[in-house]
Amino acid sequence: MFKISKEKRMANKIKEMLYRRGFKVETKISKNTKSVYLKIDNGACPTIRISDHKNNKTRSKFNVIKNYEGKRREYCNGGTKMFYNFHMLATLIADVECERANKILKHGYSKYKAIRDRKELSNYYIYNKQAA
């Protein structure tokens, strides 16, 4: 019998909590590390990264790190990164809901819903075919 890592169990727990609140969530698992990425509402909201280490290369806004102690918010690469440990899930869910509410207020519900429900990116880009 195989063991599921704590990161994957935490990802399933967060995913279930977000499903109950009406979010669409996709899961991506890193091949090289124990990181799990949760894509929320088809990219309309920022991603959640669940891991056992801190990483400055990824652009995930919400980072859940095992046994994390340190700053809760950092500004890097022109964006904000927020950090949580495994015991701060209620705060994480509240911040994700707040982020969704801010996006809806900023862009409007119809645009947010169009981004959330899109099937492919190519359908929403306008481009001209040039003669060869």
Question: Is the pLDDT reported for residue 123 higher than 60?
Answer: no
Question: Is the pLDDT reported for residue 122 higher than 90?
Answer: no
How confident is the model at residue 128, as a pLDDT? 46
Is 27 or 4 the better-scoring residue by pLDDT? 27
SS (H, E, C) 77-102: CCEEEEEECCCCHHHHHHHHHHHHHH
Question: Is the pLDDT reported for residue 126 higher than 60?
Answer: no
Query: Can you give the pTM of this predicted structure?
Result: 0.81
How confident is the model at residue 127, as a pLDDT? 47
Average pLDDT over every residue of 9-35: 91
**How do residues 25-81 score in pLDDT, each as one tens digit?**
999 998 888 899 999 998 889 999 999 888 877 788 999 998 888 788 988 878 889
pLDDT-derived band at 120 (thresholds 50, 70, 90) equals low
pLDDT-derived band at 11 (thresholds 50, 70, 90) equals very high
DSSP assignment string, the chain: -PPPPHHHHHHHHHHHHHHHTT--EEEEE-SSSS-EEEEEGGGTS--EEEESS--SSS--SEEEETT--S-SEEEETTEEEEEE-TT-HHHHHHHHHHHHHHHHHHH-HHHHHHHHH-S-GGGG----PPP-
Percent of the chain clearing pLDDT 70 (strictly above): 88
